[in-house]
Amino acid sequence: MKREYIIMDDFWWLPEDMSIKGLLVGVGHHKQVADSEDVPPLDSWYRSLDQKGNLSSNIEHYPIRSLNRWRKACKNTNVYRTLKVFDGNTGEAIFLGPFLVDIDNSDEDLDDAQTVTKQIVVYLTEQRGLSSDGIRIFFSGRKGFNVEICPEVLEISGSVPNQIELSARRLDEIIASLRNINNIRDSYEDIVDSQGVVIAQCYTTRNIVSSQQTAIDRIYGDRFGYRLKHPYIRLHRSINKWIRNDGSKMTRMRIELSIEQLWSINAVGISSKAEESAQMFQLT
């Protein structure tokens, strides 16, 4: 089977009259991580290809149509692009998208992560009045789900700093709604000095949205203000590969789910579908 990818599928959220010609993105790829690693170590990342086509840590931007070359070089595994899209003439970031809700459960309780994802879809469709055309749902392949939303339907526009601020506000609204639905209250952690005296308190669960510790990643901001905390998004239909604590390797594909599938297929079935999709890709 020929490995072809519909590049525009990753950019479905762009304005209808916008051509990808002349637009650039950054790219990313990391080595397999272990279960014990929450995030890939910085020295495991690659962000470009050198003149010989080998992976390099140098940061570069490429025409969107070059993503297929990047996928091939990384064997479509643990492969990303930047959320920011850049103007090819000026090099300036002009778009941020899609609006991303990243749902993770650190204990890999996918049943709970799926429940939270359903709650998000209900919030978006029933409370915010979004149509299904503006929402796409993905199983990330490991700890949870991603909900992608067209920025325009959430009135996210303007300069990229404005888009980041508006995205952070929309994400805060979603988190607040989920915490209210699931009756999650703030908890605090004491910060003590060298003498053991409490000098401050900080929140410990502000992005936790369920009793089973499912969290929403604050991609667009944190306690330091509005900024793009996580600059990359995993490419559609790419493979998530990591190493279990027992040394075994796990391979699943980031797969898309319809709203109907989100309700009709349980977490075990979704995981199996992602594993089968990864195996089929490796056989082609």
At residue 56, φ and ψ (nearest 5 deg) are -135, 155
> 267 in helix, strand or coil?
helix
How far is the first Cα of the chain from the last one, in angstroms, to the nearest whole number?
5
- At residue 18 the predicted structure's pLDDT band, cuts being 50, 70 and 90, is confident
Which tens digit of pLDDT belongs to each residue from 224-253?
Answer: 778 898 899 999 999 999 998 888 899 999
| pLDDT at res. 4 | 40
When the pLDDT of each residue in the chain is averaged and rounded to a whole number, the result is: 90
Q: Name beta bridge partners: 22.
A: none
Q: Which contiguous run of DSSP H or E holds residue 172?
A: helix 160-181
- What is the phi/psi pair of residue 202, to 5°? -135, 150
**Helices and strands in the chain, H and E counts:** 5, 20
pLDDT > 70 in the chain, percent: 91
pLDDT bin (cut points 50, 70, 90) of residue 3 is very low
What single-letter amino acid sits at 69?
Answer: R
Q: What is the structure's pLDDT at 40? A: 82
Q: What distance in Å separates the CA atoms of residue 179 and residue 241, rounded to the nearest whole number?
A: 31
Cα distance between residue 123 and residue 121, in whole Å = 5
The residues pairing with 225 across neighbouring beta strands, listed in sequence order, are: 222
**What are the angstrom distances between the C-alpha of 82 and each of 49, 157, 269?**
16, 18, 30
Q: What is the pLDDT of residues 43-52, one digit of tens each?
A: 889 999 999 9
pLDDT at 202: 60
pLDDT at position 1 is 34
Reported confidence tier of residue 187, pLDDT bands at 50, 70, 90: low
